[in-house]
Chain A
Amino acid sequence: MKSASDVPIIQTFGLSKRYRQTTAVDEISLRVEPGQVFGFLGPNGAGKTTTIGLLLGIINPSGGRFRLFGGESAAELHAARRRIGATLEYPNFYPYLSGRDNLRIVADVKGLDSKEIDRVLDLVGLGRRAKQKFKAYSLGMKQRLALGATMLGDPELIILDEPANGLDPEGMREIREIIRGLGERGKTIFLSSHLLSEVERTCTHVAIIQHGRIVRQDSVADVTSHGVAGLRSADLAALETAVAEYPAAQWVKRRGDRVVAELDDGDLAALNEWLVGRGIHVSHLVFEARSLEDVFMEATGVADIGEPTDGSSGRDERRMGEVP
């Protein structure tokens, strides 16, 4: 017999959602185990929100099925949802109520008392703004309130749909810290994002979704364990062309001021020798940890997974994995 802790928290089997024009979610099968911080990574429009909506019971599936905490009957799912704190797409609150009163509404549904509301408000740093009306909050404050609402009652599973949206780098860092803290306490977290860096820094596991299909699902460590070669030389264009012709290179691309390539054999010396043979001298040649962006490219053949919207973290993003 399986013990309770062996039961996957989330399990989907060929789950699909078709709209008239699009198939938003196309037969996806996910498996999230207890204690995982699971990143659901994909560009805008990939089907992340729709998938979460299906799991939360507010979107009716067109096909497939899913289990939460091992249960899949209507009653089991209803019971399971009481063990989940979740946001979907936007912070959804009553604009004319204060932050505190909005949490009161959530706490009421979950049968919690006001001490819990205070705890959560402090946790997300809204303690002093709690009496202000939600409509007067900045987007960052709205996001924090939404994150706070998911933590009411300390649920076993927390589902966050793009929690970093609209936050400045400082805010993103704070949210990351909170999520890490939850993960360390053994909570299961399912987090969707179009930002590689966010998933890379907070998650233990990842599923990459594109056009409604899961293209890869693994632990972040596994996915990024293979190395890629990072090279620099005076003429980057010539370098890129040359590496592209190298037989063991799976793919090559320009990233910032260097060229990055995945090698079948992982043999840097052989690559260097081959390049020298073609008259190209590299000033920089190292093994870098493969970033999720590389994984994404390998899986989909598309380099771009959506750039972060604010410039500051964008620079940060593109430099992920670079060895100085």
Chain B
Amino acid sequence: MKGLIAIIKRELAGYFITPVAYVFIVIFLAMSGVFTFNVGGYYERAQADLQPFFNFHPWMYLFLIPAISMRLWAEERRVGTIELLMTLPVSEWAIVAGKFIAAWLFAGIALALTVPMWITVNWLGDPDNGVIFASYIGSFLMAGAFLAIGACVSASTKSQVIAFVISVVICFLFLAAGMPAVTNFFSSWAPDIVIDTVTGFSFLTHFDAITNGVIDLRDLVFFVSLIVLALAANVVIIEMRKAA
């Protein structure tokens, strides 16, 4: 446990030692602003809510989250510090979880910095704060799922670039599974159960459900179990590379 906390602290501090964190946060905030108020047609909709803001989150995360997760393991392996880390008296689970939690907290910090937007819409109008709160929870969970997948990919390569590209592709598949184009493609020939399974794996389906204001236990379970599963896979990959 003390090992886990020490690892979380070190990893989290690591984001802020280098400019990476600041660059990331600035890009995240700038994109949030642009998407919400310009591309999202915030003013045209004449409606005080954060729907456009959250609608863009899956697509923003598609590129920004792999940018965080790519270095988690790949960099340690390239530089060799993984040898230092893995010979410390802590379990592999603690290291995997520690890295993930720190990255998730970091994503959470970036997300929390958008709260002024929440305040702004309250100042401009009278939004449904319950929906916005639920959307924040959903967005945070989705970021976690993206991160866990990215961490797992990062553990299997030395190259950050490869980790980034593969993470983006896999995350895209998880998003695309719920896009109308894909659903339509399947609906023309596949039985309903196939369509439901495919869309059931989509981040979009679950995220949209949450941003509509209903926190359904099934959507939470989906994201949480995906995170746990990806982390378990991460541990397995670490163990396999140890035996290689």
The answer to whether A and B belong to the same complex is no
Binding site for A on B (CB under 8 A): none
Binding site for B on A (CB under 8 A): none
